[in-house]
Amino acid sequence: MQKIPKNRGLKNTSLLSAKIGFNVFVFFYLIAGPVVFAADAQQTKPATDDRPKVAVVLSGGGAKGFAHIGVLKVLEEEGIPIDIIVGTSMGSLVGGIYSIGYNASQIEDLVKSLNWEKTITDEVPRLFQSKYQQELKQRYFLSLPISEKKEIKLPRGLMKGQNVLNIFCGLAGEVPANADFSQFPVSFACVAADLETGDEVVIDRGFLPAAMYSSMAIPIAFQPSERDGQLLVDGGIVNNFPTDVAKRMGADIIIGVDIRNDYYGQDELKSISSVLNQLISFFDKDKDAVNKSYCDVIIRPDITGYSVSSFNRRAADTLISRGEEAALDVVAQLQKMKAEYNLQPRQPIYNFVKPEDWHITKVNYNGSYYLSNDFIANTFGLELPGNYSADDIKNGIDRIYGLGGFKKVFYYLENNDEGKTLNINIESEKVFTQNFGFKVNTTDAAAILINTTQRNYRNIFGLFSVNGELSVNPGLDVTIETNRTKFPTAGLSFNGKYQNINIYQEADKLFKTSLFFTSAGIYFYQPFFKRYYFGAGIREEYFNGDLFSKEGSFQLEEDKINMFLTNAYVYLSYDNMDDFYFPTKGTSMKTRFSLLGDLEDKKEICPALYFQMKNVIPAWQESSWLFDIYARALLNTNYPDVKMTMIGGESYTQYFDYHLPFIGLPAVNIGQEYVYIGMLGYRFHMSDSQYITLLANGLLQDSDWLLREDSEFIYGGGVRYSLKTILGPLDATLGFSNAVDKPTFAASFGYWF
């Protein structure tokens, strides 16, 4: 298999080993994003033999590095030619992008186009995650890897850099995969640190996206970059202002841009973060004095009020402006230098700037993976030949990575006789994780969910998952799946659950039932058209405990049940919601047809039809319209009593997959054979994490599918407060309906399961 070309460094310089652990408090240095620019065809760098070479050196500093962009804008406006650009960490990202032909204004547009919360993580959009990956993200707030010794271990870093690296790949799509950075429109080098030895590593050739990632891979926050047998991390711990590197590259004039904080005084060292920042700044203290001496001009933007983690639009606007202001403060020096050395503006070179799209005629899948190429190609989802943008390619990469079980998936492009060859590098990994979720609600009290998941594409059954619920309603679920080829995913499922259920009629609790049920089944499903799933299965179910039933509008007395039931089903689903709990747009739909029967005793088969559709429509200023439909029909009067329709409560209080939510009714009411529910809501986005939703719903039910004048109609509604937290959503709903005399209240905290 073809492998991605590796970076090679300029040289290694031994330095005092740094105490890298302190960097856990230093956050995510990024700057890139998918923005499209046109390409030009100038191929040669202008000669500089008749004038001094000018270098710009950009220090590290996290989000404060937005200020670098403002400085570069002024240098361009003043006609200062830049022959060499060198950076560390955030400076390497700005410098690397600038070096291949993007100007400062274009980089500013890149910065302001990013969703920083999503960019700095490894999470791909929900639209591109597999069904199982979606369930994992929706249920668990904590995931810890397990070693081969079956011990919980901590990873090398919290994030792998999946999204960051692929954004860089898009921006550098025209750059050769094994490039000599000195041949860029502006010669470039960046600094990383060897995690094993503490040595400085200067990178001036190789795969540019990997080089930039290596320089900004903050220890603990990001996993190290692997290169030529080395583990590389953020260069800021060894050389955060690398003017000496620019000097060795032949710079005659050096303009340094320093966004680091000054050393704190005693009166400022009043917190853990200030003490740690102070200690980190000591790491390259000796070298820093020498590096500053190499500068002909030092520009120090005002970064007061912002930190390394201030990645947001407001910070970008302010810091870019402050960078411009700081550069304008030294514009007299710049103009004097320009006149003294007869410096003239460089002509822009755009041959490395990405075009609007590429004509891709071939795709190579490289690396270590155990899925069939047909399955990977089908998941990637781009037909060849075709014209595709960086965004299109990133979406395809996300679909592959969204399957789960990969360390990284990234790409580079090469020329061929007919267009471009897209090389996708896939690094599989054996995933063995322990996941934890919890919930507290007014129906089930408290519950803890513990999950063990193993995903290994080397095995025929690549997915093995066990869920255990610890609560007054304990449960166990086992799932085994295989999906290595383009054929449908096939799986086995086993589950058992003990459930206490309060049965209501109107506002009165009639009785409390206890039911044990378990099942074993086989199933398959197949995605198509990227958003649809078709599936089918059969399972044998067993129920033991209290029985409750309803005939017409009259509640029957409680009885006992001890029975087996066969359930064969097919379903069709569609889901393009951008989030499970707080979507801003999209539709989720599922329709299921089941054949239910106690074959041993009754020899009767009851068809059942279930339909659910949820719609979220963007409205005014981040508010949204919500429109939901639920329906269930039992198409035979001889249906198993245990499969009668349940109605009431919120979505998080559904006990079975035939339990329909209804605002204003207690959690479990027994419905008739045909039930139709419609819900309309308007959700206000009050702040970054708070929501208020106004809700209204109506219900029609009857024993006949043709609704009659005397069909039962219930209406209701309510108001819901929601808070988004790292432990899951907090919901509280006050509801009412014409079927109960007093308001209902439901509340939940934690992920739903």
Long-range contacts: 246-251, Cβ < 8 Å, 24+? 246/55, 246/57, 246/84, 246/86, 246/189, 246/294, 247/55, 247/294, 248/10, 249/55, 249/84, 249/86, 249/182, 249/187, 249/189, 249/204, 250/53, 250/84, 251/53, 251/54, 251/55, 251/83, 251/84
Residues 6 or more apart from 49 whose CB is under 8 A from it? none
Q: How far apart are CA 118 and CA 159, in angstroms?
A: 12
Q: Is 668 helix (H, G, I), strand (E, B) or coil?
A: coil
Q: Is the pLDDT of residue 263 over 50?
A: yes
Q: In terms of pLDDT, which residue wins out, 444 or 323?
A: 323
Q: How many CB atoms lie within 10 A of CB 379?
A: 20
Of 59, 83, 89, 187, catalytic:
89
Cis peptide before 385 (omega within 30 of 0): yes
Lowest mean pLDDT among 90-94, 519-523, 634-638, 723-727: 634-638
Q: Is the pLDDT of residue 297 over 90?
A: yes
Q: How many CB atoms lie within 10 A of CB 600?
A: 10
Q: Please name the amino acid found at residue 219.
A: P
CATH of domain 358-428: 3.10.20.310
Quick one: which H or E segment has residue 403?
none
Question: What is the sign, positive or negative, of the torsion defined by CA atoms of 590, 595, 600, 602?
Answer: positive
Write down the mean pLDDT value for the chain: 87
Residue in 475, 415, 426, 367 with CA at minimum distance from that of residue 166: 426
Structure confidence at residue 120 as a pLDDT band (50, 70, 90): confident
Residue in 437, 487, 439, 491 with CA at minimum distance from that of residue 462: 491
pLDDT at site 507: 58
Q: Is the pLDDT of residue 14 over 90?
A: no
Residues 6 or more apart from 622 whose CB is under 8 A from it? 584, 685
Long-range contacts: 454-461, Cβ < 8 Å, 24+? 454/430, 455/404, 455/405, 455/430, 455/431, 456/405, 456/430, 456/431, 456/432, 457/369, 457/370, 457/371, 457/405, 457/428, 457/484, 458/370, 458/430, 460/484
Same fold for the pair 54-122+168-341 and 358-428: no
pTM for this model (two decimals) = 0.83
Q: What is residue 622's DSSP assignment?
A: G
pLDDT at site 642: 86
Q: How far apart are CA 428 and CA 369, in angstroms?
A: 5
Q: Is the pLDDT of residue 224 over 80?
A: yes
Q: Is the pLDDT of residue 536 over 50?
A: yes
pLDDT at site 270: 65
Q: How far apart are CA 718 and CA 444, in angstroms?
A: 21
User: Which residue is listed with tokens 């590290």?
Assistant: 60
Would you put residue 453 in left (φ > 0), alpha (ψ -120 to 50) or beta? Answer: beta
Quick one: which H or E segment has residue 369?
none
Bridge partner residues of 528 (DSSP): 532
CATH superfamily ID and name for 54-122+168-341? Cytosolic phospholipase A2 catalytic domain (3.40.1090.10)
Residue in 216, 233, 222, 256 with CA at minimum distance from that of residue 89: 216
pLDDT at site 24: 32
How many helices (H) and strands (E) the chain has is answered by 14, 38
Q: Is 685 helix (H, G, I), strand (E, B) or coil?
A: strand
89 among known catalytic residues: yes
Lowest mean pLDDT among 363-377, 378-392, 541-555: 541-555
Q: How far apart are CA 303 and CA 158, in angstroms?
A: 27
Q: Is the pLDDT of residue 654 over 90?
A: no
**Pairing outcome for strands 187-194 and 84-88:** parallel
Q: Let me know how long the chain is.
A: 753
| Residue ranges with strand state E in 456-580 | 463-471, 475-482, 489-505, 508-528, 532-547, 550-551, 554-555, 559-575
234 among known catalytic residues: yes
Question: What does the pLDDT look like over 23-58, one tens digit per residue?
Answer: 333 333 333 333 333 333 333 455 556 789 999 999
Q: Which CATH number fits domain 431-750: 2.40.160.50, 3.60.20.10, 3.30.1360.120, 2.102.10.10?
A: 2.40.160.50
Residue in 144, 135, 56 with CA at minimum distance from that of residue 98: 56
Q: Are 202 and 10 contacting, i.e. CB atoms less than 8 angstroms apart?
A: yes
pLDDT at site 638: 82
Q: Report percent pLDDT > 70 for the chain.
A: 87
Q: How far apart are CA 532 and CA 320, in angstroms?
A: 44
Q: Are 526 and 503 contacting, i.e. CB atoms less than 8 angstroms apart?
A: no
Q: In terms of pLDDT, which residue wins out, 53 or 707?
A: 53
Q: How far apart are CA 458 and CA 479, in angstroms?
A: 18
Bridge partner residues of 254 (DSSP): 55
Q: Is the pLDDT of residue 3 over 80?
A: no
Q: Is the pLDDT of residue 151 over 80?
A: no
Question: What does the pLDDT look like over 79-118, one tens digit per residue?
Answer: 999 999 999 999 999 999 999 999 999 999 998 888 877 8
Q: Residue 7 is encoded by which pair of tokens?
A: 């970076």
Of 83, 194, 199, 234, catalytic:
234
State mean pLDDT over 163-167: 93
Question: What does the pLDDT look like over 172-223, one tens digit per residue?
Answer: 999 999 999 999 999 999 999 999 999 999 999 999 999 999 999 988 889 9
Residues 6 or more apart from 383 whose CB is under 8 A from it? none
Q: How far apart are CA 484 and CA 372, in angstroms?
A: 6
Residues 6 or more apart from 713 whose CB is under 8 A from it? 698, 699, 700
Q: Is the pLDDT of residue 531 over 50?
A: yes
| CB neighbour burial string for 684-698, b if at least 16 within 10 angstroms, e if fewer | ebeeeeebebebebb
Q: Are 333 and 298 contacting, i.e. CB atoms less than 8 angstroms apart?
A: no
Q: How far apart are CA 395 and CA 378, in angstroms?
A: 13
Q: Are 509 and 516 contacting, i.e. CB atoms less than 8 angstroms apart?
A: no
Would you put residue 419 in left (φ > 0), alpha (ψ -120 to 50) or beta? Answer: left
Where along the chain do its domains lie? 54-122+168-341, 358-428, 431-750
State mean pLDDT over 672-683: 96
Please list the alpha-helical segments (H only) found in 232-350: 243-248, 272-281, 285-293, 313-329, 331-340
Q: How far apart are CA 665 and CA 714, in angstroms?
A: 10
**Three-state SS letters, 652-663:** HHCCCCCEECEC
Q: Residue 44 is encoded by which pair of tokens?
A: 């040669």
Q: Is the pLDDT of residue 298 over 70?
A: yes
Q: Is the pLDDT of residue 15 over 70?
A: no
pLDDT at site 444: 80
pLDDT at site 63: 87
Residues 6 or more apart from 525 whose CB is under 8 A from it? 131, 488, 489, 533, 534, 535, 536
Question: What does the pLDDT look like over 420-466, one tens digit per residue?
Answer: 999 999 998 888 899 999 999 988 889 999 999 998 888 888 899 99
Q: Is the pLDDT of residue 712 over 80?
A: yes
